Amino acid sequence: DAGVIQSPRHEVTEMGQEVTLRCKPISGHDYLFWYRQTMMRGLELLIYFNNNVPIDDSGMPEDRFSAKMPNASFSTLKIQPSEPRDSAVYFCASSLLAGQDTQYFGPGTRLTVL
């Protein structure tokens, strides 16, 4: 298996622009997680899905952030409009189960908002 695939790997945009991050989970995994990592706040869970349904979005910072999972093999995280404080590395992870099951992380998308 190719593992979790994320695109783009790097994104540089200007404040106010829309940003869309993409993720393809490992085939057969029922859970998909979106995380944000910064030096100040560490790794934060933004939202997670089970069988394409959002289960917990309490970590989404504000209404500018939205996530979708239209099918089992694709998810997007959208920021509109983007702000400099959104600059971070965004990770997607997938797992068979929740809780203590192993989460497999993608390589991340490094987002810089100027």
Partner 1 sequence: TQLLEQSPQFLSIQEGENLTVYCNSSSVFSSLQWYRQEPGEGPVLLVTVVTGGEVKKLKRLTFQFGDARKDSSLHITAAQPGDTGLYLCAGARGAQKLVFGQGTRLTINP
Which of 66, 72, 107, 112 binds partner 1 (CB under 8 A)? It is: 107
Q: How far is the CB of 16 from partner 1 (least distance, A)?
A: 28
Using the CB atoms, write b or e for 76-113: b if 16+ within 10 Å. Answer: ebebeebeeebbbebbbbbbeeeeeeebbebebbebeb
Residue closer to partner 1 by CB (options 82, 103) is: 103
- Within 10 angstroms of residue 25's Cβ, the number of other Cβ atoms is 25
Q: Which stretch binds partner 1 (CB under 8 A): 15-23, 43-51, 68-76, 77-85?
A: 43-51
The answer to whether 51 and 69 are in contact (CB under 8 A) is: no
Using CB under 8 A, which of 54, 56, 57, 76 touches partner 1? Answer: 56
Identify whether the C-beta of residue 48 lies closer than 8 Å to the C-beta of residue 91.
no
Binding-site member from 67, 93, 111, 113 for partner 1 (CB under 8 A): 93
Q: Which stretch binds partner 1 (CB under 8 A): 11-19, 64-72, 80-88, 106-114?
A: 106-114
